[in-house]
Amino acid sequence: MLVAIDCIIFGFDGQHLKLLLIKRGFEPQKGRWSLMGGFITNDETLDYAAARILKQLTGLTYIYLEQLYAFGDPYRDPTERTVSVAYFALIDINKYEEQISHEYSAEWFPLKRLPSVIFDHKDMIEMAKEKLRYKAAFHPVLFELLPEKFTLPQLQTLYEDVYDAMIDKRNFSRKMLSTGLIVKQKDKEKNGSKKGAFYYKLDKRKYRAKFDAFLNLIPNPQSLK
């Protein structure tokens, strides 16, 4: 019996939440899109294997990585009985090194326009989206997708895309600021608008301290599942 890891890698380009997929370079299913994955070696933990595989594709280390679910349908991989432990990863898309991706012919896809993927990877992606929404409704995990400096409008766009909903900006900024998690900077981002929007930084100390607490980050969490 084989044990594999598959990584659902989320990124945010300022407009939309995206997923990183690779084009399989080998049979079976050569040429089709797939999650980044691999088999675990004999002396590594699952977490370690996921981090190793993620590094191979993106070049990134110290990534937010969380175990999602173990998928074990006996025929999920038609060639061999493989149990796959799926992880989801949140990365700052700007830190992602392009050249490494080209080795693997990787590509970012907006969540709404995903190509068809091999095996049960579609189920994995669906579950990852659901879990991300669930988690982000209470924990400030979406900051993992942003660069060090970001603006409130950028942050709001991210939440709006994750929840596919419009959010009132006055309520949003009040709620965010009231968490004490973000710190206003002196400089502004000037590309997005004429007036420019102030940058904010995450207060990493408070972020770690409050990560497990319950924040009410989105309006009407009733709408989740």
Element at 10 (helix H, strand E): strand 2-12
Tally of residues, the chain: 225
Cα separation, 136 vs 143, whole angstroms:
10
Cα separation, 219 vs 173, whole angstroms:
12
SS3 201: strand
Instruction: Please choose, from the candidates 138, 157, 152, 125, the residue with its C-alpha nearest in 3D space to the C-alpha of residue 6.
Output: 125
Site for a copy of itself in 14-43 (CB under 8 A): 40, 42-43
Q: Is 141 in the site for a copy of itself (CB under 8 A)?
A: no
Identity of the residue, 187 or 212, whose beta carbon is nearer to a copy of itself in the bound complex: 212
Q: Is 7 in the site for a copy of itself (CB under 8 A)?
A: no
Position among 81, 95, 190, 204 found at the interface with DNA (CB under 7 A): 190
Q: Is 138 in the site for DNA (CB under 7 A)?
A: no
Among 21-29, 53-61, 68-76, 158-166, which window interacts with a copy of itself (CB under 8 A)?
Answer: 68-76
Identity of the residue, 30 or 184, whose beta carbon is nearer to DNA in the bound complex: 184
What residues have CB less than 8 Å from 111, skipping those under 6 apart?
16, 17, 18, 19, 129
Number of residues that bind DNA (CB under 7 A): 22
Cα separation, 200 vs 87, whole angstroms:
29
Among 21-29, 62-70, 170-178, 181-189, which window interacts with a copy of itself (CB under 8 A)?
Answer: 62-70
Q: Is 178 in the site for a copy of itself (CB under 8 A)?
A: no
- Residues at the site binding DNA, with contacts judged by CB under 7 A: 151-153, 168-171, 173-175, 188, 190, 192-198, 216, 219-220
